[in-house]
């Protein structure tokens, strides 16, 4: 789960495993595997960092793993 901020300023928590795509527009648009779209203030890079950190905390990505290994896991 990652904390993000909708464009109206409301903080939300998104299930990182449901993120299908991130689109850069004026804001960032997250498309979930359910088809739902969420517009947030955070940049694509910020969201990716938060998802990677979440996965590290939950053991999904080993702390010392290289970027190549992380891509293989995803």
Q: Give the side-chain half-sphere CA count within 13 A for 62.
A: 8
d(CA 57, CA 7): 27
- Reported confidence tier of residue 59, pLDDT bands at 50, 70, 90: confident
- This prediction has a pTM of 0.76
Q: Whole domain around residue 57: which residue ranges?
A: 2-73
Q: For the chain, list the strands marked E by DSSP.
A: 2-5, 11-14, 19-24, 28-32, 37-40
Express as a percent the part of the chain with pLDDT over 70: 80
Number of domains in the chain: 1
């Amino acid at each position: 789960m990652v904390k993000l901020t909708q464009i109206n300023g409301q903080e939300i928590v998104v299930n990182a495993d449901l993120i299908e795509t991130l689109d850069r527009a004026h804001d960032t648009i997250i498309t979930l595997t359910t088809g739902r779209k969420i517009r947030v203030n955070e940049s694509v890079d910020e969201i990716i960092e938060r998802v990677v950190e979440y996965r590290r905390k939950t053991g999904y990505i080993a702390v010392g793993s290289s970027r190549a290994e992380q891509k293989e896991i995803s």
